[in-house]
Chain A
Amino acid sequence: MDKNFWKKVLDTIEKEKILPISKKIFVLQNLGVWSGIILSLLVGVIILSIFYSFWEGVDWDMWRYIGMWKMMVSLYHPWLFLLIIVCLLWWIFFFSRTERGYKISSKNMFLSIVLLVFFSSLLFFHFFFWGVNMYAERHFGWYSTYMHQNTQQEMYTIWQNPEKGLLIWEIVWTQEKSITLKDSTGKEWEILYDQTTTVKGKLSLTSGETIKIIGKQISDSQFQASEFRPLMGKWRWYNFQK
Chain B
Amino acid sequence: MKDPDTALCRFCESKIALPGSFYCCAGCEVLDDLKDQKLTHAPRSSEENLNLIKHYGLSSKNSTDFEVHVEPLVCEACLQSLVQLPQHFPSLRNIEWYRSEGVLKFEFPKGAEDPHRLYQFLERMKLTPRWRSPGDAKSGRQKKRTDILRLGVLGAITANMMLFAIPIYAGLDGPMKTLFEWIQFFTFLPAFFWGAIPFYRTAWVSTRLGVLSVDAPLVVAFVLGSVYSTYSLIRGEGELYFDSLSSFLFLILLSRTILESTLARHLEKPSFERFLPRTQFTVLRTKLDGTKFSELTPWQELRSSDRVLFKSGDRLPIDGTLLSDIAEFETSWMTGESEPSIKQKGARVQAGLSLISAEAEIQVLQPATQTLFSELVGHLKSPPEKLSVSLESKVGNILVLACFALSLGLFLFGSHLGFSEILRRSIALMIVACPCAVSFAAPLARAEVSSLAAKLGAWITRPQIWNDIAETQVIAFDKTGTLTTGGLSLSPHSPMVDDHFKKILLGLERDSKHPVAEAVRRAWSHVSPYEIKDLAEVPGLGVQGHWGVDFYEFKKVSHAPATNKNNKGLAIELRRNNEPCLILEFSDGSRDGLSDFLCQMAKEYQLYILSGDESSRAKEVAKSLGIPETQAFGDLTPSAKLEKIKELKPDMYLGDGTNDLLALQEAPISVSVGAATLEAQSASDILLLNGDISFLKKIFEMANELRSVIKRNFALALAYNVLAGAAALMGWINPLMAAILMPLMSLSLLLSTLLGTRRLREMKVS
Is B one of A's binding partners? no
